[in-house]
Amino acid sequence: MTDDVQETVPVRRAEVRVEREPITDENRDAAMTPPDITEAEYEVILHEEGPVVQTQAIPVEGVRLATEEQTGGETATGEVREEKIKADTPDDGTRKR
């Protein structure tokens, strides 16, 4: 038996965020002489998680079916017809009772 289930699962992913830093009296000199601009590239790999749904059948229990015969009684109600037949036969003593 299978059931379709819809459930929310937590996933993570990396995102790029640009942080801005205000220029203050303490960092003004460093801001006035920034590092030299080069042709070097900076590459960042972003990762993202995704849910994986998988099922696997693992035997955990066996089931055996057997039959048993049960005897009981039930009460039945109805009409019963009884017929009696009278026969006139000669009794010669050879008949077994």
Q: What is the pLDDT of residues 28-76, one digit of tens each?
A: 887 777 666 666 666 667 778 888 888 777 777 777 777 777 777 777 7
Residue 24 has pLDDT above 80, yes or no: yes
For the record, the structure tokens of 68 come out as: 């048993």
Closest by CA position to 42, among listed 20, 21, 16: 16
Helix (H, G, I), strand (E, B) or coil at 28: helix
84 backbone dihedrals φ, ψ, rounded to 5°: -120, 135
Query: On the CB side of 91, how many CA atoms lie within 13 Å of its CA?
Result: 4
Helix (H, G, I), strand (E, B) or coil at 96: coil
Output the pTM of the full model: 0.29
Query: pLDDT band at 1, cuts 50/70/90?
Result: low
DSSP state of 27: T
